[in-house]
Amino acid sequence: MPDTDKRPHWDIREVLDRTDLAPLLDEYAQPTGAGRNRRWHCPVPDHHDNNPSVTMHTDGRGHQRWRCWSGDNDHRGDAIDLIMVTRRLDRAEAIDHLAGRAGMRPNEPLPPPRPRAAPSRPSGPVPLHPSVVDYVSACEDRLWQRDMLPVRKWLAARGFTKEVLQANRVGADPGPQAMRRPSGLPRGSGLAATFPALDPTGSVRYVQTRYLEPRDDGPKYNNPAGRLGTNPRLAWTVPVGEPRPDVLIVCEGIPDALTAAQVGFRSAAVLGAQYPDESVANRLATIAEQHDLTITAVIDADDAGRSWGDRLGELIANSGVDLNIVEPPGDGLDLNEWAKRDPGWAAWIAPDLDLGAVVDLRDIESSPELEVSA
């Protein structure tokens, strides 16, 4: 073991200031894409990140940070954390490694590090810009036009009825060539479905654009630029059909939450980051207490989903509310896939549910109501 008493005491801020995280990720994590679409496969050993799930950003203190969105909650950090996990070093050894990489030597002065650009993200929440609501409305109208039949069929293949799509203002984005939009709104190539994030009153608070055929080097989802509004981390749905007044279902994404809303459940989705925080837990607990609801999380049937459920359970418990966790009966299933395979899925959550009133999602793909313009 190295003699820590003789180890130099580096200024950690200086070490990080002299380390550019992007080239470091290029070295230790397989990169894809370029520019704003650049992603990396997770560098954590034994995490088989089939799709590139790592992004990087500069936080409010000017520190460059990375995060994997498909792994455990600890698959994140700064350059020091990256070196610790990839080279299997302790923190002091990782700092030594980065200092040496930056050309730092004990008791030797160095020229000032190249100044970093100021963080592009503001320190506080950004109110939603009206252009985002206009975009949601335009896409909502466009979904029911004849040329958006491929998007309607894509939604129907996931079991969504016209009723739940219209109630929750789901839309279609034909692409920037066919529909002009201001700078900062999603501009990916190809057709996309748009999933608005609603607040508990049904007002638009955000939107996520899901490309039907994402490029190999691009993301499946695209969001508005941060200057147009802060991701609320939580999206509510408008239930349709017979109300289920006693349960609040929480899912990992808007499509799963819409699946629950289609059966009459009040539901909410955690957005973007797959791991909830205290703000998300507190808001869920508040709504549950106000309406006398039990909270049930329907997790994805994989290790990441179980970690997500465990994390949410801890946070909800801190808010004084219990959380029930339901895992679909099949490896890798999420709620939407489960519901498509088993029309009786809802009875796992509400045993007294009248299954005769539950829509069989397998019948929706051939439904003519999604194939004609409204």
94/178 same-domain check: no
18/73 same-domain check: yes
257 domain residue, yes or no: yes
Q: What is the pLDDT of residue 71?
A: 66
Q: Note whether 70 and 274 are within 8 A (CB).
A: yes
167 domain residue, yes or no: yes
Mean pLDDT, each 10-residue run in order, the chain (374 residues):
62 86 82 70 77 80 83 82 88 88 78 53 71 97 95 95 96 93 86 96 94 78 86 93 88 95 94 72 90 93 88 87 91 92 85 52 55 46
Residue whose pair of structure tokens reads 């980051």 in the numeric block = 273
**The total number of structural domains that make up the chain:** 2
146/54 same-domain check: no
260/319 same-domain check: yes
Residue whose pair of structure tokens reads 């909800």 in the numeric block = 316
Distance CA 70, CA 42 (A): 8
Question: Token pair of 226, please?
Answer: 């941060």
Q: Note whether 185 and 173 are within 8 A (CB).
A: no
107 domain residue, yes or no: no
Q: What is the pLDDT of residue 372?
A: 43
Last residue of a domain, which of 81, 101, 121?
101
Q: Note whether 262 and 251 are within 8 A (CB).
A: no
92/180 same-domain check: no
97/162 same-domain check: no
Q: What is the pLDDT of residue 112?
A: 63
Distance CA 138, CA 228 (A): 17
69/205 same-domain check: no
116 domain residue, yes or no: no
291/351 same-domain check: yes
Q: What is the pLDDT of residue 117?
A: 47
114 domain residue, yes or no: no
Q: Which domain range does residue 351 map to? A: 130-370
91 domain residue, yes or no: yes
223/355 same-domain check: yes
Q: Note whether 221 and 274 are within 8 A (CB).
A: no
224/311 same-domain check: yes
Last residue of a domain, which of 64, 83, 101?
101
Q: Note whether 205 and 254 are within 8 A (CB).
A: no
Last residue of a domain, which of 101, 116, 142?
101
Instruction: State the CB neighbour count (10 A cutoff) for residue 137.
Output: 14
Distance CA 233, CA 272 (A): 7
Q: Note whether 145 and 173 are within 8 A (CB).
A: no
108 domain residue, yes or no: no
Q: Note whether 164 and 172 are within 8 A (CB).
A: no
Q: Which amino acid type is present at position 87?
A: R
232 domain residue, yes or no: yes
Q: What is the CATH number of the domain that holds 299?
A: 3.90.980.10
Q: What is the CATH number of the domain that holds 77?
A: 3.90.580.10
Q: What is the pLDDT of residue 236?
A: 96
Distance CA 51, CA 55 (A): 12
Distance CA 262, CA 156 (A): 13
95/145 same-domain check: no
244/343 same-domain check: yes
